[in-house]
Structure 1
Amino acid sequence: MTERRHPPRARILGTGRCLPDTVVTNADLEARVDTSDEWIRTRTGIRERRIAPPSIDTCDLCEEAARQALEAADLRPDDLDLILVGTVTPALGFPATACLLQERLGTRGQMAFDLSAGCTGFLYALSVADSFIRSGNARYVLAVGAETLSRIVDWDDRSTCVLFGDGAGAAVFGPTQDPERGVLATRMAADGSYWPLLHMPGGGSRHPASAESLAQGLHYVKMQGNEVFKVAVRTLHQVAEEVLEAAGVSGDQVDWFVPHQANRRIIDAVRLRLKVPAERVYVNVHRYGNTSAASVPIALDEMVRGGKIRPGHRVLLDAFGAGFTFGAALIRW
């Protein structure tokens, strides 16, 4: 009898991360804007964040995280069929940071492109990696989420400067025939009607760089925090429930919930709605702030290298970002 082979799906073979050395605490921000450590902690859960020096750009962060992930996967850059970078703060306006990363890694020929999906960027990249591997159009895929958000934050705006940090996280994906392992289900979506609530007006063809756009502060993040909070909780819960239903898994069967690290109150609200026990939720927002597309892969790498995620664990990833974009994925490690 011929053995029945299941279609391949993607599984994570290795992870990596890169965080700048410079730590900016809430106390540091107290000295600059009208805020306090207590105000920041109670509303966001953030205590400190990492900030890249001027000599470091997004591609630099990508490279370190990517090399760690490749080493963990025991692969060479030439083994890759696709390089993806999720970011809203690319190293250059163009070409794609993924192409710059390809050159840094010393390889060529494979596909390489960026995804601009806000804080959901890494999960969008994960979904693309899974699709390419399932279709047989790629065997090994490198997905990186990386941001230097400190470059687009108005450090005199207390409503936004306290929230964001810099960093990168990476994962290498490869195929598995095991029906019980790998990416079990994904759900990616967007609702562009909400775009005014979180955006950066300047830098594109609508408001190109000029003395006037700079004077108006159009090249900084603009956010309506209270409205973003409401939509984030609802959509994070919705998309995670859809993924769990698709995989036939309930919230209390999840071994680890790894949400986008934007705000501790958002994380807690979503966790309660999903009925995931508090001890199964991974949180590091207090140490890094919101690193956008980098937050989920940074958390994953910390968990893998810290021995928290073990073979057989069901890991639920969940993210929400500017666009609005939102996505979730369930992985069996």
Structure 2
Amino acid sequence: MNIGITGTGSYIPPVITKNEDFLEHHFLDINGSHFEHENQVIIEKFQAITGIAERRYAPPELKTSDLGYLASEKAIEEAGIDREEIDYIIFAHNFGDLTPGKIQGDTLPSLATRVKHLLQIRNPKCVAYDMIFGCPGWVEGVIQASAFIKSGLAKKCLVIGGETLSRIVDDHDRDSMIYSDGAGAAILEANPSSGEILSHASETYANGEAYYLYFDKTYKEEGCPDTRYIKMHGRKIYEFACTQVPRAMKECLDSSGVSIDDVKKIFIHQANEKMDEAIIKRFYRLYGRQVPEDIMPMSIHKLGNSSVATVPTLYNLVKNGQLDDHEVNPGDVVIFASVGAGMNINAVVYRV
């Protein structure tokens, strides 16, 4: 049985926040001390490492579930399916719906249920649930959806990845410049006219790595001690990802039976430009190959890191010819790969 992606959609928020918008921020070190460099220098170094020049924030009236709904409408339209025939809605996120100014995630009801409500799906057999798997959540949702279809429990699944990270960051943490908002969605179906999942792999590292991304208070000493924000050990994540992700990608590709030379694109989680480049370089080194030109589309420069939304959004942009100098065509073999909180890793080899 072939299982393929028959429709994709994304919602890219309209609010553009550029690096210069952080010039007046009061950045502090993890111990609350001031940096010796001015913000201009901090921002320049940040852009050189991450590649991020600007990012997108959602307007205040839209929550994560709203972004997911908007992306889903596009995916359903592109797939040309009756929404009442969707068997599962899987919504990958990390923090639920966040209201600006209130750092408390709302997951009652689940975001998948909220999307089903917004889509006005009446069929009670359409099961809606959320996926908490860090940044690799959307890829893991695709893996779960394919398992449902392969087992005969489903014929059509909607998998969404969405986040509004701009509402869960500490303004005094320079890492806050990384995060952004957005959503991507895809319809998976059995025996489509084109498209096939060839292999997949997932791993969780929690023996020492579990808290590389974590929740903690602001770096500002007089800030509220009971409010928590997303925090990370950036260097540890970088080293972990560069070591473990290439190996996991190789295992996944080897199990697909596809040659490394036949891979046309790699859609990797948009976390950090330098880190992604290092991962891909090490991946090809495992095969004794040089990295081909234009193998890795990047959206992080303009869109930032929207966590679970980066991979589906990036794929949607390239598939619809909206990212300069990149395209995918029927029959092309691509790899989806991600790494994030948990620490979780996954990959999918997919024939378009």
TM-score by length of 2: 0.85
Find the partner of 1:251 among 257, 260, 266. 260
Size of the aligned set, in residue pairs, is 313
Verify: 1:240 aligned to 2:254, yes or no. Answer: no
Deviations 1:10-48 (A, max 9, x none): 200000000111011111112224533421211111111
Within 5 A, what are the aligned runs for 1:260-299? 260-275=269-284, 276-299=291-314
Tell me how far apart the structure 2 counterparts of residues 76 and 61 of structure 1 sit (CA, whole Å).
21
How far off is 1:218 after superposition?
4.5
Which residue pairs with 2:70 in the alignment? Answer: 64
Within 5 A, what are the aligned runs for 1:186-265? 186-193=200-207, 194-201=209-216, 215-216=224-225, 218-265=227-274
Tell me how far apart the structure 2 counterparts of residues 323 and 143 of structure 1 sit (CA, whole Å).
20
Verify: 1:27 aligned to 2:20, yes or no. Answer: yes
Which residue pairs with 1:312 in the alignment? Answer: 331
Tell me how far apart the structure 2 counterparts of residues 227 and 200 of structure 1 sit (CA, whole Å).
16
Verify: 1:120 aligned to 2:136, yes or no. Answer: yes
Deviations 1:69-97 (A, max 9, x none): 00000013212000000000212232210
Find the partner of 1:169 among 156, 164, 184. 184
Tell me which protein shows more helix as a share of its residues: 1
Find the partner of 1:55 among 54, 61, 64. 61
Deviations 1:300-323 (A, max 9, x none): 100111171110000101100100
Verify: 1:14 aligned to 2:7, yes or no. Answer: yes
2:211 is aligned with what amino acid? P
Tell me how far apart the structure 1 counterparts of residues 24 and 192 of structure 2 sit (CA, whole Å).
55
8 Å Cα contact 2:71-2:184 kept in structure 1 = yes
Deviations 1:236-287 (A, max 9, x none): 1121111111012233321001100000011111111222413111111111
Decide which moves more: 188-197 or 109-118. 188-197
Decide which moves more: 244-253 or 298-307. 244-253
**SS of the counterpart of 1:278?**
coil
2:257 is aligned with what amino acid? G
Which residue pairs with 1:154 in the alignment? Answer: 170
1:167 is aligned with what amino acid? G
Within 5 A, what are the aligned runs for 1:74-85? 74-85=80-91
The runs of 4+ residues in structure 1 deviating greater than 4 Å are none
8 Å Cα contact 1:47-1:287 kept in structure 2 = yes
How far off is 1:53 after superposition?
2.4
How far off is 1:170 after superposition?
0.4
Which residue pairs with 2:35 in the alignment? Answer: none
How far off is 1:130 after superposition?
0.7
- Pair 264,169 (structure 1): closer, same or farther in 2 beyond 3 Å: same
Find the partner of 2:161 among 119, 141, 145. 145
C-alpha RMSD of matched pairs (Å): 1.7
Tell me how far apart the structure 2 counterparts of residues 177 and 296 of structure 1 sit (CA, whole Å).
21
Within 5 A, what are the aligned runs for 1:95-134? 95-108=109-122, 109=124, 110-134=126-150
Instruction: Give structure 2 stretches of 5+ with no counterpart.
Output: 28-38, 98-105, 218-222, 285-290
**SS of the counterpart of 2:229?**
coil
How far off is 1:201 after superposition?
4.9
8 Å Cα contact 1:117-1:325 kept in structure 2 = yes
How far off is 1:191 after superposition?
1.1
How far off is 1:114 after superposition?
0.5
**SS of the counterpart of 1:312?**
coil
1:58 is aligned with what amino acid? T
Instruction: Give structure 1 stretches of 5+ with no counterpart.
Output: 1-7, 203-213
Tell me how far apart the structure 2 counterparts of residues 325 and 94 of structure 1 sit (CA, whole Å).
25
How far off is 1:151 after superposition?
1.2
- Pair 177,295 (structure 1): closer, same or farther in 2 beyond 3 Å: closer
Tell me how far apart the structure 1 counterparts of residues 294 and 343 of structure 2 sit (CA, whole Å).
29
Tell me how far apart the structure 1 counterparts of residues 259 and 281 of structure 2 sit (CA, whole Å).
13
Which residue pairs with 2:108 in the alignment? Answer: 94
2:338 is aligned with what amino acid? A
